[in-house]
């Protein structure tokens, strides 16, 4: 029988508080340790105010900002995959490479999505 995490027993406000602390710790770790996340964060810090300034329509603003935030989310998942793979083993393995390549492809598609959304909104 598999033992569950002792943290899964928390409920209510304690669980929400713990989840918030873990999330903030994850953002801090990504900012400290992941250059790609820092670069995307900087991109968002520049482009989100630009999105607010360029567009008056709420839907257009939501599309522009949402596409940027999606790149951060996907990069966080990719960094988590890479950390997990590296935790298991640092040796070259075809499945480790596949996992990392697929995570990288997800980031690329999120960036492509952001570029397409921005082009369509700005050019319309």
The answer to whether the beta carbons of residues 52 and 61 sit under 8 Å apart is yes
The answer to whether the beta carbons of residues 64 and 117 sit under 8 Å apart is yes
Q: Which residues contact 7 (CB under 8 A, 6 or more apart)?
A: 18
Q: How far apart are CA 69 and CA 67, in angstroms?
A: 6
Catalytic residue status for 75:
yes
Of 4, 60, 75, 91, catalytic: 75
φ, ψ dihedrals at 11, nearest 5°: -140, 170
Is residue 68 classed as helix, strand or coil in its secondary structure? helix
Query: Which residues are annotated as catalytic?
Result: 75
């Amino acid at each position: 029988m598999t033992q569950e995490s002792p943290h899964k027993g928390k409920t209510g406000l304690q669980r929400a508080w713990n989840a918030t602390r873990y999330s903030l710790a994850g953002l801090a770790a990504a900012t400290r340790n992941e250059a790609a996340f820092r670069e995307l964060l900087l991109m968002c810090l520049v482009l989100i105010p630009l999105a607010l300034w360029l567009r008056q329509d709420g839907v257009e603003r939501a599309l522009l900002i949402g596409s940027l935030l999606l790149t951060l989310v996907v990069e966080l998942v990719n960094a988590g995959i890479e950390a997990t793979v590296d935790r298991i083993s640092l040796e070259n393995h075809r499945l480790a490479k596949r996992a990392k390549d697929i995570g990288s492809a997800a980031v690329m598609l999120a960036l492509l999505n952001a570029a397409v959304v921005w082009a369509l909104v700005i050019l319309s």
